[in-house]
Amino acid sequence: MALDITAARLNPGLFALPWSTPLEEWPLEVVAALPRGISRHVVRFVELEGEILAVKEIHEDLARKEYRLLHALDRMGEPAVDPVAVVAGRTDAAGRPLDACLVTKHLPYSLPYRSLFSQSLRRATALKLIDAMAVLLTRVHMAGLFWGDVSLSNTLFRRDAGDFAAYVVDVETSELYDRLSDGQRAHDLHIAHGNVAGELMDLIGGGLLPPEADPVAIADQLVERYEGLWTNLTETETISMDQHWRIAERIESLNRLGFDVGEIEVTTDIDGAHLRIQPKIVDAGHHSRRLMRLTGLDVEENQARRLLNDLDAFAASQGRQNDDESLLAHDWLSRIYEPITRTVPAELRGRLEPAELFHEVLEHRWYLSERADREYTIEETIGEYLRDVLPSKRTEEVLLAPKDGAGQPD
């Protein structure tokens, strides 16, 4: 067998995997027991040198196309799984050719939608997943990606300060363009509506959503949320000449949605009576980039917004609102954030990623203070949270599948 491995950075452990065996027959000692979403292809997880990788068996042309597209999304900073390698030239023990494999990194603390719903999520939480998916679809469309098979099955979710952040997993049917037409966007949205409604109907049939949930209405919300976001991010707005403050208001509105505006195009009417403003460069991750710049923490957008709010509260409590922002952030990181996240005992680490744990501790502090009608200290809160809340949560850094593999189809 002459393997053909394409990789930006080659992990030598890849050579030790049983590539001459069809993926569905890989031995249990090789495969990591992680939950798999629904897929038209065989998918297995492996652990190499402490890193979890997903391996998908697929035709070589599709594997190389998906590898290329995932790299493009990574370069643009769009939320998608990271490609590792394409393994082609596979043959079985009898010399018969086998399909190629696409290898990607497992996204830590991420969950397929069926694993989330297996926790009996409320309908309100289901709507949060749909909101996250609408943001994801908006982002990749702005980047020029026609997804082609938008679905919950092709999406991974990570907790994000009480909400969720969504990531693209499967782009084998996708194409990347300089700009999408309205027709391409509408087609993707039509596919998304049908797939999501069908997937939710399947969950109702399996008892994972309450029977009164309306899959079509939830899918409708995906369309409505997407269209509202797209309008906010791309529409041209006309204002009168004496309302210049509305330009700043528009930028602040986009920032609240989590997007940066790198450039604004402003033109006047012929009579000079009105201004027309339109964002020219809009990038997602406004709060997460600011937090990264100040603290080095790489977290989701809502988590970053929550942490920045706590940083502002810390500044106010210390009377340091006019201090240098970078020095203030360093003090907050060393005196507030790190002491809380490092308090977690070893056996409970991995239940939640540190930023989500910090968010939950702040939420728990508010709950305890409200119940006791007094202000709880952060020390009191973290003690009660570690004793009463965190032990009840499942490990999500690398969520293990049930031993019998039930409910985890390929």
Q: What is the pLDDT of residues 43-101, one digit of tens each?
A: 999 988 778 899 999 999 999 999 999 999 999 889 999 999 999 999 998 899 999 99
Mean pLDDT estimate for the chain: 84
- DSSP letter assigned to residue 119: T
DSSP, collapsed to helix, strand or coil, labels residue 74 as helix
Question: How many CA atoms within 13 Å lie on the side-chain side of 372?
Answer: 12
Shared fold status for 4-105 and 110-234: no
Domain ranges of the chain: 4-105, 110-234, 237-284, 302-392
Domain 110-234 fold? Transferase(Phosphotransferase); domain 1 (1.10.510)
pLDDT of residue 258: 75
Helices 325-332, 301-317: crossing angle, 10 deg rounding: 100
Q: Quick one: tokens of 396?
A: 């999500």
Q: CA dist 156 to 166, 240, 322, Å?
A: 6, 44, 41
DSSP, collapsed to helix, strand or coil, labels residue 174 as coil
Q: Per CATH, is 4-105 categorized as 3.60.21?
A: no
Split at pLDDT 50, 70, 90, the class of 181 is: very high
Backbone φ and ψ of 267, nearest 5° = -130, 155
How far apart are the C-alpha atoms of 80 and 58, rounded to whole Å? 19
Residues 6+ apart with CB under 8 A from 363: 162
* pTM of the shown model: 0.76
Percentage of the chain with pLDDT > 70?
A: 86
Angle (CA) 268 272 273, round 5°: 100
Q: Above 70 in pLDDT, residue 217?
A: yes
Lowest mean pLDDT among 30-39, 213-222, 238-247: 30-39
Lowest mean pLDDT among 120-124, 153-157, 254-258, 306-310: 120-124
Neighbours of 196 (CB within 10 A): 27
For residue 361, is it left (φ>0), alpha (ψ between -120 and 50) or beta?
A: alpha
- Can you give the length of the chain in residues? 410
Q: Quick one: tokens of 354?
A: 């540190």
The radius of gyration of the chain from alpha carbons, rounded to an integer in Å, stands at 24
DSSP, collapsed to helix, strand or coil, labels residue 214 as coil
How far apart are the C-alpha atoms of 64 and 101, rounded to whole Å? 9
Identify the burial level of 326 via C-beta atoms within 10 angstroms of its C-beta, where 0-12 means exposed, 13-18 middle and 19 or more buried. exposed
Q: 47: part of which helix (H) or strand (E)?
A: strand 43-48
Q: Quick one: tokens of 188?
A: 């993707």
Lowest mean pLDDT among 267-276, 286-295, 296-305, 371-380: 267-276
Q: Above 50 in pLDDT, residue 401?
A: no
309 closest CA partner among 354, 359, 378: 359
pLDDT of residue 264: 67
Q: CA dist 69 to 80, 121, 245, 303, Å?
A: 10, 33, 41, 28
Q: Above 50 in pLDDT, residue 169?
A: yes
284 closest CA partner among 259, 263, 262: 259
pLDDT of residue 178: 93
Averaged pLDDT, 242-247: 72
149 closest CA partner among 198, 103, 110, 208: 198
pLDDT of residue 197: 94
pLDDT of residue 117: 72
Q: 269: part of which helix (H) or strand (E)?
A: none
Split at pLDDT 50, 70, 90, the class of 405 is: very low
pLDDT of residue 408: 35
Q: 283: part of which helix (H) or strand (E)?
A: strand 274-284
How far apart are the C-alpha atoms of 207 and 386, rounded to whole Å? 32
pLDDT of residue 409: 32
Query: Can you point out the beta strands (E) in 66-212?
Result: 83-88, 100-105, 110-112, 145-146, 155-160, 163-168, 175-176
Q: Above 90 in pLDDT, residue 348?
A: no
Split at pLDDT 50, 70, 90, the class of 407 is: very low
Averaged pLDDT, 219-230: 92
Alpha helices in 173-300 (DSSP H): 182-205, 215-234, 245-256, 286-295
